[in-house]
Amino acid sequence: MAILDDVKAALRVTTTDTGIVGEITDLIDAAKDDLALSGVLVVDDTNPLIKRAIITYVKANFGYDNPDADRLAKAYDLLKMHLSLSTDYAFYAVTFEVTDAATSAAIRQAEVEFAGQTKTTDAIGKAVFYARAGSNYEYTVTADGYGADDDDDNLVDVAASQTVAISLTAL
């Protein structure tokens, strides 16, 4: 079921009147834009929490004499706040995969510094960070017994969840 159909069902609206359907569609788009402006990076209307936020926004803003508008607007604002603070919705995962350049084996216990945080790679050579969209996040990778990462720029542009593969050369 498309989001328009879900919202119409929540509003108890069955009409196909283009004016009413147009208003509902505009409110759906406004809800998506409002979520994005609030820092919610994953605005997928098939996700249950995103769908609930969109429906709540539309219900709060649809029509003129809505006695529940204030209550619904507060509920939407709380849900939007939770989404904008969640690593699942407001941050992209940046996974660093650190391997030995000669053997391609995972390097455990490598230290990865990224976006002001430092983490140690796990048993499979991975360290996961969460970052908001942005460009030129610097990183460094070090490990005992290995030379420094020889990548010239050591920068990551974060526009989506991604994996950064790092190969270190043993000393």
Reported as a single tens digit per residue, the pLDDT across 71-90 is 999 999 999 999 998 878 88
What's residue 151's pLDDT?
Answer: 65
Residues 84 and 95 in one domain: no
Residues 17 and 79 in one domain: yes
User: Which among 88, 120, 143 is the end of a domain?
Assistant: 88
Bridge-based pairing of strands 162-168 and 92-100 is: parallel
**Domains identified in the chain, total number:** 2
- Strongest mean pLDDT among 18-22, 35-39, 88-92, 145-149: 18-22
DSSP secondary-structure letter at 106?
B
User: Which among 36, 61, 88 is the end of a domain?
Assistant: 88
Residues 39 and 80 in one domain: yes
Question: What is the pTM for the complete model shown?
Answer: 0.66
Is the separation of the CB atoms in 62 and 19 below 8 Å?
no
* Residue ranges making up the domain that contains 30: 3-88
User: Which among 60, 88, 116 is the end of a domain?
Assistant: 88
Which residues have C-beta within 8 Å of that of residue 168, sequence separation ≥ 6?
98, 99, 100, 101, 107, 110, 141, 143, 146, 147, 148, 149
**In the predicted model, is pLDDT for residue 149 greater than 90?**
no
Mean pLDDT of 47-53: 95
Interval 107-137: pLDDT, tens? 999 999 998 899 999 999 999 998 888 778 9
Residues 84 and 116 in one domain: no
Query: Beta-carbon neighbour count of residue 132 at 10 Å?
Result: 12
Mean pLDDT of 87-104: 91
* Residue 10: C-alpha distances to residues 6, 13, 25, 69, 135 (Å): 6, 8, 14, 14, 40
Give the separation between CA 107 and CA 97, rounded to whole angstroms.
9
Give the separation between CA 19 and CA 30, rounded to whole angstroms.
16
Give the separation between CA 12 and CA 14, rounded to whole angstroms.
7
What's residue 150's pLDDT?
Answer: 63
Is the separation of the CB atoms in 114 and 137 below 8 Å?
yes
- Adjacent-strand bridge partners of 51: none
Which residues have C-beta within 8 Å of that of residue 140, sequence separation ≥ 6?
112, 113, 148, 149, 154
What's residue 105's pLDDT?
Answer: 96
